Amino acid sequence: MKNVIKFIAIVLFSVAGYSQHGPKIEFSAPDNTIDYGKISKTDNPVRSFEFTNTGNAPLLIIGAQSTLSSIIVTKPTAAIQPGKKGKIDVKYNMAAGPIRKTITVETNAVNYPDGRIALKIKGEVL
C-alpha cells in the first residue's frame, strides 16, 4: 500500500511538471530561419523574426545577441502579453559572400530549454 501511494505521488508531480504553464514563444519563420536569398549589397539588410506568445503569462525577451559585430539585433523592451505578437529585428552588414549566422535569444519561455532559442539567417550577398 505504501508503494502505491508513493507511485501515485510521483505520477502527480510528474504530470504537474510537464504541463508547462507560463509564456511560450512560437516563431513564424520555418525552423527559426530567415533566408535572405541572393541579395545585392544595396538591398535593405533588415529582416524580422516575428513571434507570438502562445502561453498564459507575459513573455520577456531578456537578451538577443550575435557572436559577430556585423549583426545588429533589436529586441522588444516591453513584455509581450499572452496572445500578442512581437518581432526581433536583425540587420546584417552586407559583406559580399555567403551568410550563415546564428543569433541567440534569451527568454523566459517554458517551451525551450533554459529559454534559449537559436535564430538563424542565411543567404548570399552578391
For the chain, which residues make up each domain, given as ranges?
21-125
Q: Are strands 25-27 and 85-92 parallel, antiparallel or unpaired?
A: unpaired
The answer to whether the CB of 24 falls within 8 A of the CB of 54 is yes
Topology (CATH level 3) of domain 21-125: Immunoglobulin-like (2.60.40)
Would you state the pLDDT for residue 71?
Answer: 85
- pTM comes to 0.79
* Nearest Cα to Cα of residue 49 among 78, 76, 22: 76
pLDDT digits (tens, 9 = 90+) for 40-93: 988 888 999 999 999 999 999 999 988 777 788 999 999 999 999 999 999 888
What share of the chain in percent tops pLDDT 70?
A: 85
The answer to whether the CB of 21 falls within 8 A of the CB of 57 is yes
